[in-house]
C-alpha cells in the first residue's frame, strides 16, 4: 500500500506537488511513497468526478488528495473553502471517513509562486537590475504591501515574457523544489502542509 495518491487538474500542478512532496524534511513529514494522477477533464473532472480515477485506490493508498484551481470556466459559485467542502463530501462517498482531502488553489497555481524567497527570481531567470517584486509593482501587477499579486497568473506571464522563458510544467517543478516552503503564505499551500503533517508528521 502506498502512503498517498494525488489527483490533480493538470501537469503543472502535478509537477509542483511532486516536487513539494519530495521535500519531506522541509515539510516536517516522513518520506512518502506516492502516486500522482492527472484528471483528463482537468479542474471540472477533479471537482465533479474524482471517483473516475480514485475509485480503485481506497485499498491501495492510505490517503488521497485532490488539488485543483479555483478559477476555470464554469466553476460553481463559492470560495475555495466552500469548493473544498463540496469535494470532500464527494470523497467521503469513495473511501472511509477522513481518507481524502481537497485543496483548491485561489485563484490558480501561480499563487504559490510569489513569496519573498530569493529563489523565485533566480528560478524565473530574472536578471534585470530592478528587483522582481519592484518591477512587478512598477508594472501595476503587484500592489506594495500585499503578500502576492492580485492576479498571480498575469504577473507570472509578464515575467516569463520579459525573460523569454516558456511556461512549462518543468518550471513549476523547479519552483517547487527550490523555493522556501516556510515563506509561502498562500492559504491553500498552508492548508496542504497542515494536512500532510496531520497524516504523515514525523511525530506520528
Share of the chain above pLDDT 90, in %: 79
* Dihedrals phi, psi of 151, to nearest 5 degrees: -120, 85
Position 24 scores a pLDDT of 94
Tell me the C-alpha distance between 72 and 120, whole Å.
Answer: 25
Q: If you average pLDDT over residues 72-76, what whole number do you get? A: 89
From the list 16, 8, 43, the residue with the least C-alpha distance to 156 is 16
Do residues 177 and 23 touch, judged by C-beta distance below 8 A? yes
Contact 106, 79 (CB under 8 A): yes
pLDDT of residue 182: 80
How do residues 8-45 score in pLDDT, each as one tens digit? Answer: 999 999 999 999 999 999 999 999 999 999 999 999 99
pLDDT of res. 115 = 80
Give the separation between CA 197 and CA 204, rounded to whole angstroms.
Answer: 9
Amino acid at each position: 500500500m502506498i502512503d498517498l495518491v494525488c489527483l490533480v487538474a493538470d501537469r503543472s500542478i502535478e509537477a509542483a506537488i511532486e516536487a513539494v512532496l519530495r521535500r519531506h524534511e522541509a515539510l516536517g513529514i516522513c518520506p512518502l511513497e506516492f502516486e500522482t494522477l492527472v484528471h483528463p477533464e482537468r479542474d471540472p473532472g477533479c471537482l465533479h468526478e474524482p471517483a473516475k480515477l480514485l475509485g480503485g485506490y481506497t485499498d491501495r493508498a492510505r490517503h488521497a488528495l485532490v488539488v485543483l484551481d479555483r478559477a476555470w470556466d464554469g466553476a460553481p459559485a463559492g470560495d475555495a473553502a466552500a469548493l473544498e467542502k463540496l469535494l470532500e463530501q464527494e470523497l467521503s462517498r469513495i473511501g472511509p471517513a477522513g481518507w481524502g482531502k481537497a485543496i483548491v488553489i485561489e485563484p490558480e497555481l501561480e499563487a504559490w509562486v510569489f513569496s519573498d524567497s530569493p529563489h523565485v527570481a533566480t528560478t524565473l531567470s530574472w536578471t534585470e537590475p530592478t528587483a522582481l517584486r519592484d518591477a512587478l509593482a512598477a508594472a501595476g501587477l503587484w500592489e506594495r504591501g500585499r503578500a502576492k499579486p492580485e492576479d498571480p497568473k498575469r504577473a507570472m506571464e509578464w515575467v516569463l515574457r520579459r525573460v523569454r522563458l516558456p511556461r512549462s510544467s518543468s518550471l513549476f517543478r523547479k519552483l517547487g523544489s527550490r523555493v522556501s516552503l516556510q515563506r509561502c503564505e498562500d492559504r491553500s499551500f498552508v492548508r496542504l502542509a497542515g494536512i500532510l503533517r496531520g497524516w504523515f508528521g514525523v511525530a506520528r
